[in-house]
């Protein structure tokens, strides 16, 4: 069985490979023949060649990494790819740079922390200006929700920065925003604000997605 060998820092990072064919693999500790420690993904037999895949690497206290590439492995028929040890190669070609500057929060004193954030989000959805079944529609909806929540509810609402080849709109999450400090009625979390985003039947929501990561927070878009 071929394997894709990678070298994350820290070595204990969680490494996940999602093949476009639907296969999800979790790496396990491994080492290069030269002694360098790393992790590897065992690739199942029959995995389609040359398909896209996404590599996710995360660790507590670190900015997560997501990278898209093309996965190839040595099945004995490919002679034009210099396979590294392990017999698999993850060839990357998508690279997205993030904005270097982040504007300070806008706190104009008009925020009302007792407002219901979900009500603000649902009111924006009710305008029918955003097609949540599309990528751009979700991204624009997320920007409007973040803007109105930041201005009306709390200046601690902001976008979730996306890194590298992560799925994104204008440098931020397509369907999630972050409240980095709690208000009297809302806990600090990263929230998903679209259910079934980019698909028929998508609709607005306010669901906890993950813990706050202030290194990913920024405002405005």
Instruction: Give residue 79's pLDDT.
Output: 73
pLDDT in tens, 181-213: 999 999 999 999 999 999 999 999 999 999 999
First vs last Cα of the chain: how many Å apart? 45
Is the per-residue pLDDT at 91 higher than 90? no
Average pLDDT score over the chain: 89
The 8 Å CB, 24+ separation contacts for 130-137 are: 132/194, 132/197, 132/198, 132/202, 132/203, 132/204, 133/198, 133/199, 133/200, 133/201, 133/202, 134/198, 135/169, 135/174, 135/198, 136/169
pLDDT score of 171: 87
* Cα distance between residue 127 and residue 116, in whole Å: 18
Q: What percentage of the chain reaches a pLDDT higher than 90?
A: 62
- Interatomic CA distance for residues 51 and 19, integer angstroms: 7
Categorize the per-residue pLDDT at 221 as very low, low, confident or very high, splitting at 50, 70 and 90: confident
161 and 171 Cβ atoms separated by less than 8 Å: yes
Q: Omega before 220 cis (within 30°)? A: yes
What is the C-alpha separation between 145 and 69, in angstroms, rounded? Answer: 32
pLDDT of residue 200: 93
Q: What gap in Å lies between CA 111 and CA 92, rounded to an integer?
A: 44
Confidence (pTM)? 0.56
Q: Which helix (H) or strand (E) holds 143?
A: helix 135-152
Give me 125's structure tokens.
């959805």
Owner of token pair 């931020």? 172
> 107 near 155, Cβ under 8 Å?
yes
Beta bridge partners of 23: none
């Amino acid at each position: 069985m071929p394997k894709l060998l990678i070298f994350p820092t820290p070595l204990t990072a969680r490494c996940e490979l999602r093949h476009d064919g639907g296969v999800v693999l979790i790496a396990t500790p491994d080492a290069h023949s030269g002694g360098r420690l790393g992790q590897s993904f065992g690739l199942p037999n029959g995995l389609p060649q040359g398909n896209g895949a996404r590599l996710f690497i995360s660790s507590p206290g670190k900015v997560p990494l997501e990278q898209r590439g093309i996965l190839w492995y040595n099945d004995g028929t490919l002679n034009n790819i210099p396979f590294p040890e392990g017999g698999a190669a993850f060839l990357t070609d998508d690279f997205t740079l993030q904005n270097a500057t982040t504007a300070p929060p806008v706190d104009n004193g008009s925020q009302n922390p007792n407002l219901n954030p979900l009500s603000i989000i649902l009111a924006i959805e009710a305008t029918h200006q955003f097609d949540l079944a599309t990528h751009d529609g979700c991204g624009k909806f997320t920007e409007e929700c973040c803007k109105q929540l930041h201005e009306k509810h709390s200046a601690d609402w902001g976008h979730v920065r996306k890194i590298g080849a992560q799925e994104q709109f204008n440098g931020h999450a397509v369907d999630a925003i972050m409240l980095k400090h709690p208000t009297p009625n809302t806990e600090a979390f990263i929230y998903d604000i679209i259910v079934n985003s980019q698909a028929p039947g998508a609709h607005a929501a306010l669901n906890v997605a993950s813990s706050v990561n202030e290194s990913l927070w920024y405002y405005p878009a």
